[in-house]
Chain A
Amino acid sequence: MSGGVLRAMIRFENVTKVYEQNARPALDSVSLEINRGEFTFLVGASGSGKSTFLRLILKEDKASAGSVYVAGQNVANISSWRVPKLRRGIGVVFQDFRLLPQKNVFANVAFAMQVIGKSRSIIRETVPEVLKTVGLEGKERRMPHELSGGEQQRVAIARAVVNRPGILLADEPTGNLDPITSMGIMGVLDKINQNGTTVVMATHDDDIVNEMRRRVVELKNGKVIRDEAKALYTSMIPVVGESRRLRDASGEELDRAQGAQL
């Protein structure tokens, strides 16, 4: 295995995912590397393959062709009973928070540690630390319905990172939040990234992408059509980007022309 593979936290090699035979593949021969400690935005219209990308990293789905490597390990070679171990190394955050409504903030975060058998003393020590990182100190005893959307998402982030995963996957984490709250969440994700966690965030939120100026991978119909460092939500070349956005709904022809331009 080359050094590149080891440096890459996530590596896709010609990955194709077909959900239904004869249908258009959800991912079409995608090759991509995301390095340790990188912050990557995954953008693209609904159905462009962003969620499939994330699911393949988690081994929720199996690639139809090609290989997915996570931390240097081909996930296809991970036996089903070792999948939990893979997932312990990956935190996940969703648009809809997915908190447990009958548990308070502390218990929601502690849950992620309990179920993998962490001792009570470690939980009591770690959870407040993580809650502080996400800016929720003093709200341990609140119930989820007593929190704002932004606070709920912070709880969800705390839960995702409490076991110190190397990777954090965020599937439209700001999709339900207003712009200001969203920026707060981005601050938290950025802080987590600064601590060395590789962050992959699928999003529709152009303001955030433009503000953060991180790597942007754009997917369309299951293909990577753009992969730029320190990029904007749309391409740096204004005319092409604008025209693409306008023509998104129309046919394939334009995509191909665009691919040539890129």
Chain B
Amino acid sequence: MRLLFILGEIGSGLRRNLSMVISVVLVTFVSLTFVGAAGMLQMQINQMKGYWYDKVQVAVFLCNDGSTAVGCASGPATKEQQENLQAMLESPAVKQYINDFQFESQAEAYKHFKEQFSNSPIVDSVSEDQLPASFRINMKNPEKYQIISETFSSQPGVETVSDQRQVLERIFSWMNGASVAAVGVAAVMIFCAVLLITTTIRLSAFSRRRETGIMRLVGASKTVIQLPFILEGVIAAVVGAVLASVTLWLMAHFWLNGDLSRQFLNTPFISSTQVLVIAPVLIALGAGLAGISSLLTLRRYLKV
């Protein structure tokens, strides 16, 4: 009976305050979408780290005709220099840090380059001898890049030692920045949502002050009086959170796993099922925020 009664009260509260309730739904929807997007970006970063860190290599580029580096003053790397480097890579001092390495000749480099930029006109303007030969090293621990760099960059015939990871780090730091920005926007929106919920509950309590006054007088418990208001806020926020989750899922499903994954074949995108992990967090967050802000509002504006 009491449950039915409370449900009825919630229904009438939602109907009476429909426009406010809709605005609460929309604001929580937008704010939680940003929160979720930040979460998705973090998941994407982790996914890419896991995928790429196994594959990225440290490349020791050898001098070629066009090299301008100090170590290349004597012209393109000679056969001896190349063999010397290979010997160094096989020496125990270096070997302990690396899994394996391959030599990529200028011809191979050109082939890879053509594959990578097959759609780009740049291929036509590059010739084989413009590209450097290189040793491609797979590190046991990518963090130890510094050791390889120090060992090889001063060797004769070496133009430069580059860590592909640095390129990725730049992407990741950009993505991290984006997720921080998303969290920032989300924080502002959540603040708005809390204020809106507060106002909505206040209005709702005011428009029903007759009922609540009578409920108090006839001895209705605190729960029976307050619960409809709190649930009103919580329901609106949860609807917003569900909308946010659906939006994020649609984004993951149709955009990340659709368009983007077709464009960037080598990039591992998070799957739409992974996004579903975020949904309960968003719903709990929305419900929690709404519940707490309603409760605090009622403490001030609804005498029990």
Q: Which A residues fall within an 8 A CB radius of B?
A: 58, 81, 84-92, 98, 100, 111-112, 114-120, 159-160, 163
Contact = CB atoms under 8 A, between A and B. Distances in A.
Interface in B141-198: none
Given A84-B221, A84-B222, A118 B1 contact: yes
A120 B4 CA distance: 10
Contact of B1 (A88, A90, A114): A114
Contacts of A116: 218-221, 224
A92 B214 CA distance: 9
B129 interface: no
A30 to B, nearest CB: 23
A100 to B, nearest CB: 6
A98 B224 contact: no
A100 B210 contact: yes
Contact of A163 (B5, B218, B222, B224): B218
Given A114-B1, A115-B5, A92 B211 contact: no
A115 B220 contact: yes
Contacts of A86: 219
B214 A111 contact: yes
B300 interface: no
Contacts of A58: 217
Given A87-B219, A163-B218, A163-B219, A98 B213 contact: yes
A19 to B, nearest CB: 16
Interface in B236-281: none
A100 B218 contact: no
B79 interface: no
A157 to B, nearest CB: 13
Given A114-B5, A115-B5, A119-B1, A88 B211 contact: no
Interface of B: 1-2, 5, 210-211, 213-222, 224-225
Given A100-B211, A111-B214, A84 B219 contact: yes
Contacts, number: 58
Contacts of B213: 98
Q: Which of the listed residues B215, B219, B221, B224 has the most CB atoms from chain A within 10 Å of its own CB?
A: B219
Contacts of B218: 87-88, 91, 111-112, 115-116, 159-160, 163
Given A92-B217, A112-B218, A163-B219, A117 B210 contact: no
A66 to B, nearest CB: 24
A120 B217 CA distance: 21
Given A84-B222, A87-B219, A115-B220, A100 B214 contact: yes
A202 B48 CA distance: 78
Contacts of A91: 218
Contacts of B221: 81, 84, 116
Q: Which of the listed residues A117, A159, A163 has the most CB atoms from chain B within 10 Å of its own CB?
A: A117
Q: Please list the 9 inter-chain residue pairs (A to B) with the smallest Cβ-Cβ separation, ordered nearest first.
A: A88-B219, A115-B220, A87-B219, A117-B2, A112-B218, A84-B219, A114-B5, A115-B215, A84-B221
20 contacts: A58-B217, A81-B221, A84-B219, A84-B221, A87-B216, A87-B218, A90-B219, A98-B210, A98-B213, A100-B210, A111-B214, A111-B218, A114-B1, A115-B224, A116-B218, A116-B221, A116-B224, A117-B5, A120-B1, A159-B218
A160 B2 CA distance: 19
A98 B222 contact: no
Contacts of B216: 84, 87
B280 to A, nearest CB: 32
Contacts of B215: 115
A41 B14 CA distance: 44
B300 to A, nearest CB: 16
Nearest to B221: A84
A88 B1 CA distance: 18
A117 B224 contact: yes
A84 B220 contact: yes
